[in-house]
Amino acid sequence: MKTGLVALLLVLVGTGTAFADSCLTNTYDNYVGPPSISCTISVNPPGDLKTFSNFSYSTSGSNQMPANQITVNPVAFPYIAGLMFNAPWNVTSGQTQDSLIGFTVTVGSGSPLINDLTLMMFGAGFTGIGSASVSETYCLGDTFADGCAHGTTGTLFTFLNHTGSKLTDTVNFAGVSEVDVMKDVLLSGGDGGTAVLSGIENQFSEVPEPGSLSVLGGGLITMGWLVRRKLSL
């Protein structure tokens, strides 16, 4: 009976019917709404849920990017959940493009706490003094709805321009059950330059349970033994 109940719960989680619907690949206007949706990403091990909600968006600049031109792709790896945003961000000389993307991530009941946040940008390029950057403000343990009054704030920053580049930024912290983020995607062509950007991604990592670490460690030891055995043949 107990085995059957566990199996049923895993099926419900896998189909996204036990809680909110599963996050799907879709354009960002479908996430923002109205109404703004709430969706989940289940990572390995099964049943480890992260809920994404409170989606927001605004755009400004001389070359604005509509939400329906931004595609959202859920990301799920062992102990990592996240969202990738793809869009044809681009500016030419004298143009600017500014996109503000926000959302909240919370852990499911019984799921490990989030202890790592990573921001990445890719598909970026520039000419002249053109520039592409993503500045992300985060709130750990609360949301920006109350000014992160009961949480901790910080920033991540990535960029590519004529002065250099930083395409990935990461912060580690004590485990929290809630993270609120606001990304400012800014492109500028400057005087005679251009800039492009095709994607940004957030990853929210967690510390595996001790039992999971034992299984992972045992698997790595087994793989190492097999490699050594193969080399000795």
Q: Can you give the pLDDT at residue 216?
A: 44
d(CA 218, CA 220): 5
The order of strands in the sheet holding 96-107 is 21-22, 39-43, 48-60, 96-107, 178-188, 131-140, 152-161, 164-166
d(CA 173, CA 226): 36
pLDDT in tens, 60-86: 999 999 999 999 999 999 999 999 999
pLDDT along the chain (233 residues), means of 10: 37 40 96 94 85 97 97 95 98 98 93 96 98 98 97 98 98 97 98 98 85 45 44 49
End-to-end CA distance of the chain: 48
Q: Can you give the pLDDT at residue 36?
A: 87
Contact 134, 119 (CB under 8 A): yes
